[in-house]
Amino acid sequence: MKRGLLLATLWLLLVLTMSDGLSVARPHNPHGETRRVKKRRDGHGHGRARAGRAKPLKIRHIPGPSIPVEPVLGDTVFLESYKNLQEQHSSYNVLPGKQGQCVYQGLTMFNQAVWSPQPCVTCLCTGGRVVCDEITCPVMHCRFPITPLGECCPVCMEPVPSDPGKSDTPLTPEEIQRILWREEEEHYEEEERLRKKDEAKKRKRQEKKEKEERQRRIAEERRRKEEEDRRKKEAAQEEAWQREKKLREELLAAEEEEEVWLRGDVFQMPPKEEEEPEEPDLLLAPIPRPPVAEDELKEKDTEEEEDVGKEEKEEVVVKRGGLPPGCELSDVTVTCDHAKLTYFPPLYMPELKSLSLEGNNISSIPAEAFNGIPSLEWINLKKNKLTSAGIDSRSFKGLKMLKRLYLDGNLLEVIPSNLPPSLQELKINENRLQKIYGNSFHGLNSLVILELEANLLSEANVDPKAFVPLVELSYLRLGGNFFRSIPQGLPTLLLELYMENNRIEEIPEGVFNYTKNLNLVSLRHNRLEETRMAPMAWIDHRNLESIDLSYNKLYLVPSYLPKSLIHLVLVGNNIERIPGFVFAHMDPGIEYVYLSYNKLDGEGIEPESFFGSYHSMVELCLDHNQLMNVPSGINEMTNIHFLRLNNNKIRSIPEESICDPEQNGDSTLVALRLENNLIDGKNISPRAFSCVRSSSSVVLKPQMTK
């Protein structure tokens, strides 16, 4: 019994020993063959190795990945894993035993023991031999592969394209550290670059903001300066305007205040608004109807009283006349001022005498415009938008009774053609007249008043023969144009010539040779100098009595003035001297001399300056100059009525400077102005004003302080 048990034990031990060599798990070989087939192919009947050679590893096929066997020296066999496998797992399902122990690097390992001596390597002790399975990592095609902590294979930190030709040599830790440092440095450099870029952006934004702020401040400063300059300019203009206004007010106040005694100034004319008839009562009176018999009148009155439909009849007449909205009918006058008309209204009123269309937007006058109103005597078309092309050449032709035509404030460039011969007054002020042709006034032999002010006329674009047809013209206004000299060919019967606000620089000889009846010439606000006035220009005129040369460039009273001169206005020049005997040749003698607002002083007036005017002078204005004494010769003026010496620098009034004590007869001096000087009233002799009719006529206050 014991023997049988011992044999069974030995048999079991043998079986276990043999099974140990056959029970080790091995992957499938590359050819898919089992151990038994391989053994027969090799011709071996057992698993022992020959002497001096490593014992070959006997591996039983276990399903799983097939790994080739790579024998090495010693008792260790390494199993090379397949390449390009991301991860390999060993599946040893054995228990360690005491038999077949292995010694690995001084350590004793039990049979079937499994351990990992280094990363990615797994070893098995089987039958006294060590079999190690080393996982082969795939080749990483990137610049800096990194092996994470706890992993055996490196990974790429950044995606890179696959490069099979690149070397698979693993990096050393020093190289990896350098790479990490380089990456950190590059990362730092990148952060520094981004930081600098951000700082540059911030700096640029700050610079841009500062630049915009500077530009804003500069613009604000410029605007402030411009505003200040504008205010200063406006203040200067306002001051100049105020001075001019004050000057005008002083002049107007003086003129209004002394309207009673400044009667000699023939140039003080009413404003144009007063001259031009605006109201129906200033229009031309209707032509009276022929007388009828008394019986007929009574019969007509009876019929009118019995006519119950009189009002309806008048409504029919108005309706028939086509009176547009905004128009009024009064007797024989239609007024459509500022009615916003854009066309000439078609009217049918044969008895109409006056038509006013001022202040509308009428731009044209058709040929048939006046067919229904042929009896017109006065037409007012001021301040419209009439053009020369918009007025038909036949528009005014049928108006046989037209006497006054007002076209001021339009856009005319030439005189309208075919104006009726009955016309007596024509006003085309404030237009765009650029040319006056030789036939512009053809047929207007009844024209008496012609006004062409504020246009674009000059002596170069006015035909010398243009005024020849105007045989009855006596009143001509050419102010506010661009004349540099008096135009040639003035009408022979002309009485008054107004050429203010031009650019006249000279008065040549012969310009007034054919205007023998000329009585008044106004040349104020021009550029005349006494040296540019020809001596024989007007000295021989026997009818020229009034000349206005105010606001020119005269430095002395011009000589060779007309012999017949009575009124001389030289206000607002730069006159410093009155030459001796300048009035001596005048017959019967100068009566009204206005020299206000000049630069006369005591030395500029000679003892003979007023010679020839002692018995003729009626009004003498020397105010607003620089006189320091009463001019000599005034006390010899026996017919003086009004004397102005105010606003000078006169300090004293000698007893005989104004009144001659030896003069007999009644006093002639009506008014004497001496205010705004430097006179001390206490030092004035009681006899200094003995020739003044009334002491209340002497104005001494106020006086300026020293």
* Extents of the domains making up the chain: 23-146
Q: Which helix (H) or strand (E) holds 427?
A: strand 425-427
Is the Cα torsion angle 673, 675, 677, 678 positive or negative in sign? positive
Residue 690 has pLDDT above 50, yes or no: yes
**What is the largest distance, in Å, between two alpha-carbon atoms of the chain?**
205
**Range with lowest mean pLDDT among 138-142, 376-380, 551-555, 591-595:** 138-142
pLDDT digits (tens, 9 = 90+) for 506-556: 999 988 988 999 999 999 999 999 999 998 999 988 999 999 999 999 999
Of 347-351, 381-385, 488-492, where does the model show the most confidence? 381-385
Over 234-294, what HEC string results?
HHHHHHHHHHHHHHHHHHHHHHHHCCCCCCCCCCCCCCHHHHCCCCHHHCCCCCCCCCCCH
Buried b (16+ CB within 10 A) or exposed e, 89-122: ebebebeeeeebebebeeeebebbbbeeeeebbb
More confident residue, 676 or 663: 676
Question: Which one has a higher pLDDT value, 197 or 66?
Answer: 197
State the pLDDT at residue 277: 38
Q: Write down the mean pLDDT value for the chain.
A: 77
- Total residue length of the chain: 706
- Contacts of range 268-271, beta carbons closer than 8 Å, 24 or more positions apart: none
Instruction: Retrieve residue 128's tokens.
Output: 């006294």
Residue 39 — very low, low, confident or very high, per pLDDT cuts 50/70/90? very low
CA distance 127 to 125: 7
The answer, yes or no, to whether the previous bond of 374 is cis (omega within 30 of 0) is no
Q: From the CB of residue 236, how many other CB atoms can be counted at a distance below 10 Å? A: 10
pLDDT at 14: 53
Tokens representing 522 are: 């106004």
pLDDT tens-digit profile of 633-659? 998 998 999 999 999 999 999 888 888
pLDDT number for residue 252:
56
- Position 230 pLDDT exceeds 90: no
Q: Which of 117-121, 203-207, 306-310, 638-642 has the lowest mean pLDDT?
A: 306-310
**The pLDDT of residue 43 is above 50:** no
| pTM > 0.85: yes or no | no
Average pLDDT over residues 183-206: 84
Given a cut of 80, whether residue 618 has pLDDT beyond it is yes
Give backbone dihedrals phi and psi of 108, rounded to 5 degrees, phi first: -95, 125
Residue recorded with tokens 């028939």: 320
Gyration radius from the chain CA atoms: 64
Distance between CA atoms of 130 and 120, rounded to whole angstroms?
16
Long-range contacts of 396-400 (CB under 8 A, 24+ apart): 396/370, 396/420, 398/370, 398/371, 398/374, 399/370, 399/374, 400/374
The whole-angstrom separation of Cα 65 and Cα 82 is: 9
* Rounded-to-10 torsion of CA 682, 687, 693, 698: -20
Is-contact 111 92, C-beta < 8 A?
no
How many other CB atoms are there within 10 angstroms of residue 678's CB atom? Answer: 14
Helix (H) or strand (E) holding 3: helix 2-22
CB atoms within 10 A of CB 357: 24
Q: Are 703 and 674 in contact (CB under 8 A)?
A: no
Neighbours of 195 (CB within 10 A): 11
Please provide the DSSP assignment of 454-500 as one string: SSS--TTSB-TTTTTT-TT--EEE--SS--SBPPSS--TT--EEE--
Vertex 397, ends 393 and 403: CA angle to 5°? 120
As given in the structure block, the two tokens for residue 185 are 């440095």
CB 418 within 8 A of CB 396: yes
User: Residue 241 pLDDT > 70, yes or no?
Assistant: no
Residues of the chain above pLDDT 70, percent:
71
**pLDDT for position 206:** 87
CA distance 669 to 657: 14
pLDDT at 503 over 50: yes
Alpha carbons 552 and 569: distance in angstroms, whole number? 11
Using the predicted structure, report yes or no on whether residue 126 has a pLDDT greater than 80. yes
Beta strands per DSSP E along 516-634: 520-522, 546-548, 567-569, 592-594, 619-621
Q: pLDDT class for 235, splitting at 50, 70, 90?
A: confident
